[in-house]
Structure 1
Amino acid sequence: MRLEKVINRIEIQDEYKEFVEKYIDEILAEFGGQVHSLYMCGSVPKGTATPFKSDADFTLVCAKPEEIDYDKVSLIKDRLLAQYPFLTKIDTIVCSIDDVLHKPNEWGFWIKIICVCVHGPDLGEQVPPIVIAPAFILDLNTDTEAEVKRLHRLLAETDDPALKTRYIKGYAKRLIRALYSLVLEHTGVWEDDIVEMKNAIATYCEIDSAWVEELYACYLNPDVPVAEFLGLADQVYRYFEQALQTMAASRTASD
């Protein structure tokens, strides 16, 4: 079974068009020929963004990511956030052409399936079809363990209430996305709607559904005690880790 693209047509709402054009112009003015192509994902290119609730997510693809000055990217972000305050935040991921073309189940998946091209030649067209199979799901979760540990550490160490809220929300979403990857062979599509993810997990995953509902509640309302959330997150991740190990063992046995 092949994964289909999440966004088939760009439908940026009128109130966001100027911002997107300005972002592209500023990135190109700053980095010029270093940029191969630019991509977006999420509600803005889908045309479902909500002012003062939605953020903007970009991916910059270039030959040498190490040559991109992240401080300059941050300055562009800060200027545009001040100019367009209806955006909650602006995220920019930078990856290499080589990663997209030679890691089809990781960066290739991201560019081909999740993102849409808003400037330059679309590298996703050069990525082979993404086949839903254990190998793909395992590759998709290559960095999940490291990211979970990072979020756990950040949350445990911070005393800043605003950062606690941000980390809990991000951690909860990361775990829901990880769990959803386990049921892709049942759904056949990559959902970017967290409610649809949650419902699919409840339908197809053997995890305790109460954990999933609690995790979703924490995503919606991150104002929960850190210790309580980390206890839930640890339970969920242990289940996920075991499921992934079982998948890997099954794959090895069938090879």
Structure 2
Amino acid sequence: MSLPVINPQQPFQPEFAPLIREVIMCLKGGLGPNLHSVYVYGSVARKTAVSGQSNLDLVVVTKTAFESNRATLINTVKWRAQQGYPHVKGVSIRTAVVSDVANLDSIFTWGFMLKHCCVCVYGNDLSDCFGDYEPSWEIAKHWNMDVQDWLTVYRTKIAQAQSIDELVSAQVVIAKKLLRASYSLVMYRDKRWFDDPIECGAVFLKYHPEKQVEIERLGILLSGRSIPKRSVVGLIDVFGDWLVKQYQKTEFRIG
């Protein structure tokens, strides 16, 4: 069973469409002929973004690397978004070079992301280079075998947060990551794909009902409520450690 793709014909929400157009103009001006293509992913791509809460997440593909003006261009895009579109929480930009994307080694990373998580908004759509994907352990492990690394990063961010806003922001991100990684653990058995974190948690519980309390607590973190650091760190340590071990066990069993 092939995984679904996002309908590229469905229009973006009116709160976000003007910013997408402005960002494309800015990228074209800053990169010129080096710009190959631009993609939107995340809630804006799925047309489920929430004004005042959602980021605009982008992938920018260039023909050659552009390290010399990369920071300046990205900061300019973020500044213009902040000034003109305060209802957009922020702009996140991932960059790549065509040769790295359209590569057999990238089939489960860039290939899967562009095919099933993105919408091309400018240039030649590189997702056409890849066929349809089916739910598999290969997809799950390529996206989540580094779970231990980002658990460490966000555990530190939460422990060192200096304000409620910093704390809540880190809590929401780690909750999303843990819920999605939880479903990815069972995706090869469930044979579907979900991006919505709440859906991920709900389906995961069909296979691991003993984790009901942990999934409920992740849902609370995702809601944006301020939770004491000690409780969040405890959840990361206990559930995160279990998740890491499950990935290791499954990889050992399936290979």
Answer yes or no: same fold by TM over 0.5.
Answer: yes
| Partner-residue secondary structure (3-state), 1:182 | helix
> 1:15–1:216: structure 2 CA closer, same or farther, 3 Å change rule?
closer
Deviation at 1:60, TM superposition (A): 0.6
| Partner-residue secondary structure (3-state), 1:208 | helix
- Structure 2 distance, partners of 1:11, 1:223, is 34
Residue-pair matches, total: 252
Deviation at 1:222, TM superposition (A): 3.8
Equivalences for 1:1-255 in 2 at 5 Å?
A: 1-65=1-65, 67=67, 69-102=70-103, 103-205=106-208, 207-252=210-255
> 1:173–1:192: structure 2 CA closer, same or farther, 3 Å change rule?
same
Deviation at 1:113, TM superposition (A): 0.8
- Structure 2 distance, partners of 1:65, 1:177, is 31
Asked if the contact 1:60/1:92 (under 8 Å) is kept, the reply is yes
Give identity over the alignment, percent: 23
Where has structure 1 moved over 6 Å in runs of 4 or more? none
Asked if the contact 2:40/2:57 (under 8 Å) is kept, the reply is yes
Aligned-residue Cα RMSD (Å) equals 2.0
**Taking structure 1 as the reference length, what is the TM-score of the superposition?**
0.90
Q: Which moved more, 1:234-243 or 1:58-67?
A: 58-67
- Structure 2 distance, partners of 1:224, 1:13, is 31
> 1:117–1:249: structure 2 CA closer, same or farther, 3 Å change rule?
same
Q: Structure 1: which amino acid aligns with 2:153?
A: R
In structure 2, stretches of 5+ residues that fail to align are: none
Q: Structure 1: which amino acid aligns with 2:121?
A: V
Q: Which moved more, 1:181-190 or 1:15-24?
A: 181-190
Deviation at 1:8, TM superposition (A): 4.9
Deviation at 1:94, TM superposition (A): 1.2
In structure 1, stretches of 5+ residues that fail to align are: none
Deviation at 1:2, TM superposition (A): 3.0
Deviation at 1:13, TM superposition (A): 2.5
Deviation at 1:144, TM superposition (A): 2.5
Deviation at 1:231, TM superposition (A): 0.5
